[in-house]
Amino acid sequence: MTVRPIGVEVACDGPTGRDDCPNSAAIPAAITSLTARQVRADGRADGWTTRRTPGRLLDLCPNCRHARTRAPEEPTR
């Protein structure tokens, strides 16, 4: 038996990038998408966005992209 990779799945990083997506959203790999870059391109057609942060990419589903909120700021004294 020969084993071949059938692609990857890209999951949403949540509305702030530090929490889980409330919908557990993911972009399923198409039969022709074998890399994360290809799967992200598939997701853009469905409204997904990608943000670069220091050291990694954040993937946001359409719901989290619109619900994106900033982290609570430290109170000033």
Residue (of 66, 64, 65, 59) closest to 27 by Cα position: 59
Cβ 38 vs Cβ 32: under 8 Å? yes
What is the pLDDT confidence band of residue 73, given thresholds at 50, 70 and 90? very low
Which residues have CB under 8 Å from 29's CB, separation 6+?
6, 7, 8, 9, 38, 39, 42
Compute the average pLDDT of residues 44-66.
88
How high is the mean pLDDT of the chain? 79
Residue 4 pLDDT more than 70? Answer: no
**Whole-angstrom Cα distance, residue 7 to residue 11?**
13
Residue 46 pLDDT more than 70? Answer: yes
Distance in angstroms between the alpha carbons of the first and the last residue of the chain: 66
Cβ 19 vs Cβ 60: under 8 Å? no
Residue 35 pLDDT more than 50? Answer: yes
